[in-house]
Amino acid sequence: MLTNICVFVSGGGTNLQALIDAQKSGIIKSGRISLVISDKKDAYALVRAKENGIKTRVLIKKKAESKDEYEDRIEAVLRENNIDLIVLAGFMRILSGRFTGRHKNRIINVHPALIPSFCGEGFYGLKVHEAALAYGVKVSGATVHFVNEVPDGGQIIYQKAVEVQDGDTPEILQKRIMEQAEWILLPKACELVSHKIQTGEL
C-alpha cells in the first residue's frame, strides 16, 4: 500500500511541481500525491495539480471562523481521503499545536534556510533571504523538517547548504536555493518518510 500524501499550498506551487516530477521519475515510489489543499482559490499550484490529475480542495478560512474550526474542516478532508502524510509546500498558515499534535511525524515542511538560522515565526518567503543577506552570511540553504507546535522547531530530516554570491538579491538567492536545495531535498524527504510510514517504522 502506497503512503497517501496531501500537499498543502498557498501560491505558485514550484515545490509541488518538484514533488510531481519526482513521483513521475520514480524518486518518490513509496507514496502517491493523492490530494492538494490550498487556502487560496487562485493559487497556481491548483492548476499544476489539475494538469497532473491530482484531486484538489480549496479551504479558505472564513472571517467568523476560529482557527480550531478551520483546522477541523481540514481534518475532515484529510480523513475523507485517507491521508497518511502532509507535506507543506509554501503553505502560508501556521498550524496549531492541537493540529500538529494529532499528526506527529506525519507533517513535513521545507524551510528556505539552514535551521536554526533565519527561522521561526515571521520568517517565510523572501523575508528569510532578505534577513540572510542583511546579516551577511556566506552560506544559506534549505531544511526539510518534521512539523510540531513550534514554528520551524521540529526534528530536521535533511539540510543542504547553498553558497551566497556577491551581488545576490533576495530573489536571486531564493531561486538558487530552490533549484539547488529545496527541489532536491523535499522529494527525497517525502520518499524517506513515506517509506517509513509504509513499513511501520514511523
**Amino acid code (one letter) for 105:** N
pLDDT digits (tens, 9 = 90+) for 108-160: 999 999 999 999 989 999 999 999 999 999 999 999 999 999 999 999 999 99
The one-letter code for the residue type at 124 is Y
For the segment 154-200, what is each residue's pLDDT rounded down to a tens digit?
Answer: 999 999 999 999 999 999 999 999 999 999 999 999 999 999 999 99
Q: Taking residues 21-35, report their average pLDDT.
A: 98
Eight-class DSSP state of 142: E
Give the model's pLDDT for residue 86: 98
User: Structure pTM?
Assistant: 0.95
Is residue 50 within 8 Å of 56, Cβ to Cβ?
Answer: yes
**CA-CA distance, 168 to 109, in Å (whole number)?**
25
Interstrand relation of 85-88 and 3-9 (parallel, antiparallel or unpaired): parallel
pLDDT one-digit tens code per residue, 84-103: 999 999 898 999 999 999 99
| Domain 3-198 fold | Rossmann fold (3.40.50)
- What does DSSP assign to residue 178? I
Number of other residues whose CB lies within 10 A of the CB of residue 145: 21
Look at residues 106, 107, 91, 112 and name the one whose alpha carbon lies nearest to residue 160.
Answer: 112
Residue type, 137: V
pLDDT recorded at residue 85? 98
90 contacts 118 by C-beta, under 8 angstroms? no
The answer to whether residues 45 and 9 touch, using CB atoms and an 8 Å cutoff, is: yes
CB 182 within 8 A of CB 12: no
Q: What is the DSSP letter of 182?
A: I
Give dist(CA 45, CA 9) in Å, integer.
Answer: 7
Cβ contact 10:93 at 8 Å? yes
Placement of cell 538579491 in the chain:
169
What's the grid cell of residue 141? 540553504
pLDDT of the residue at 73: 97
What's residue 84's pLDDT? Answer: 98
The pLDDT assigned to 35 comes to 98
Residues with catalytic roles = 111
